[in-house]
Amino acid sequence: MPEIAALGLGSNIGDGAANISRALRELEARRVGRIVALSSLWRTPPWGPVAQPAFFNACALVETALSPRALLEAVKAIEADMGRVMNERWGPRVIDIDILAYGDETLGEPDLTVPHPRMMERAFVLAPLAEIAADAMIGATSVRDALANVDASGLQIIEKGDAWRRRAEGESRMGEHIELKCRDGVTIGAYVARPAGAPKGGLVVLQEIFGVNHHIRAVADRFAAAGYVAVAPALFDRIERNVELGYGLDDRPRAMDTRSKTKVPETLADIEAAIDLAKEGGKVGLVGYCWGGTLAFLGACRLSGVTCAVGYYGGGIAGIASERPRAPVMLHFGALDKHIPLTDVEKIRLAQPTVPVFVYDADHGFNCDERESYDKAAADAALERTMEFFAAELK
């Protein structure tokens, strides 16, 4: 008879969502079992004595015909094949798959303890597990009660529900990390997503102050899915490579600090290198968010090779509103944006009478579905206008 096993998955090297979704795919591809339930994708502070980056964590219920030992061997093989290097105990890893429970069996062998001996102390296990098996009993305690007894502060749902798996699988197939050589000789990283068919144009996706993070990659992937070669240059790489930040309060000071160390001429050189690459798709548009929204406007004013530009809630645009764009520009703002007063938006309108400026009933960051300020109605409306604009300008 098949049993239901609960697995805990974690990753804090590389793209955590992609790593966990790949592990799930391997479980099915290798016929380890069928995934019958999957938690949300969580971001969790590192637990344990080792100082290391935050983890992505999720839990899955797997219907399996394998014995506990065969299951352990199978998950260890997946970890090994995914390049997990055995180093420090509790240290950083591409993928970690723990067997949390196997039916209601208990096993106390040296290399296989089930239920997992430390699971009842760990919020990063219990919070995702409670989403799919709150009533499951671990010994005398339910998962729900165990969760109520641990400190779950700092845990955050990054993508609610189980759809993130499909999204991450598509994404991991679509985009890739590459290097861009800038005209001043400096090399920076970039994320490139290419469409399946003939491209409709090229886009340079300009990041917020949080790096080329999961959200910016998802934006690039969406534009690629819509037919554009999308290049997101890592504009923080000159200061510090591979900065990827989240939207919690913890990451904000580092985001502001890194952004404050960038220099406009260097950032423009980075964008120029991205434009050159995006030309493989045809004419090139810029699209940016937050800091990148300002850069999209600035790029349209100062760089050649830009056919059009779209800026979302660029807080710096009012300060450069008298510059002349060399290409058509479209701007989106939020009326509830605490960083950008509506007087700034008015100033831009007056200085740029030919630029369409749209104001939505939404807050700063409304396009980002990983922020609290996400506003689907505003994001959808702005995207529709943006897509029409690109379709008209880049053809």
Question: Could you say whether residue 151 binds ligand A4P (CB under 6 A)?
Answer: no
Task: Name the residue nearer to ligand A4P (CB basis): 44 or 373.
Answer: 44
Question: Could you say whether residue 90 binds ligand A4P (CB under 6 A)?
Answer: yes
Query: Phi then psi for 330, rounded to 5 degrees?
Result: -125, 140
Question: Could you say whether residue 98 binds Mg ion (CB under 5 A)?
Answer: yes
Task: Name the residue nearer to ligand A4P (CB basis): 97 or 379.
Answer: 97
CB 253 within 8 A of CB 173: no
Helix (H, G, I), strand (E, B) or coil at 284: strand
Helix (H, G, I), strand (E, B) or coil at 86: coil
Which entry of 337, 344, 363, 375 is annotated as an active-site residue? 337
- Residue linked to tokens 């990283």: 189
Question: Could you say whether residue 338 binds ligand A4P (CB under 6 A)?
Answer: no
CA 16/CA 214 separation, integer angstroms: 9
CB of 79 to Mg ion, least distance (A): 9
CB of 98 to Mg ion, least distance (A): 4
Maximum distance among all alpha carbons in the chain? 74
Q: Cβ neighbours of residue 172 under 8 Å, at least 6 residues apart?
A: 15, 18, 21, 22
Query: Phi then psi for 280, rounded to 5 degrees?
Result: -60, -20
CA 69/CA 111 separation, integer angstroms: 9
Question: Could you say whether residue 221 binds Mg ion (CB under 5 A)?
Answer: no
- Encoded one letter per residue, x for contact with ligand A4P by CB under 6 A and - for no contact, window 97-136 reads -xx-----------xxxx-x-x-----x------------
| Helices vs. strands in the chain: H and E counts, helices first | 11, 18
Question: Could you say whether residue 199 binds ligand A4P (CB under 6 A)?
Answer: no
Task: Name the residue nearer to ligand A4P (CB basis): 92 or 285.
Answer: 92
Query: Is 364 a residue of the active site?
Result: yes
CB of 113 to ligand A4P, least distance (A): 4
Which entry of 182, 290, 308, 368 is annotated as an active-site residue? 290
Residues 29 to 48 in contact with ligand A4P, rule: CB under 6 A = 44-48
Question: Could you say whether residue 10 binds ligand A4P (CB under 6 A)?
Answer: yes
* Residues paired with 230 in a beta bridge: 193, 203
The residue range among 26-34, 95-103, 266-274, 280-288 that interacts with Mg ion, by the rule CB under 5 A, is 95-103
CB of 347 to ligand A4P, least distance (A): 45
CB 375 within 8 A of CB 360: yes
CB of 143 to ligand A4P, least distance (A): 15
CB 271 within 8 A of CB 305: no
Task: Name the residue nearer to ligand A4P (CB basis): 126 or 277.
Answer: 126
Total binding residues toward ligand A4P, as defined by CB under 6 A: 21
Task: Name the residue nearer to ligand A4P (CB basis): 95 or 306.
Answer: 95
CA 271/CA 249 separation, integer angstroms: 28
CA 289/CA 369 separation, integer angstroms: 13
CB 194 within 8 A of CB 274: no
Which entry of 182, 332, 364, 375 is annotated as an active-site residue? 364
Task: Name the residue nearer to Mg ion (CB basis): 98 or 363.
Answer: 98
Q: Cβ neighbours of residue 395 under 8 Å, at least 6 residues apart?
A: 200, 201, 283
Q: Which residues are marked as active site?
A: 290, 337, 364
Chain residues that interact with Mg ion, rule: CB under 5 A: 96, 98
Chain residues that interact with ligand A4P, rule: CB under 6 A: 10, 44-48, 55, 57, 72, 89-90, 96, 98-99, 111-114, 116, 118, 124
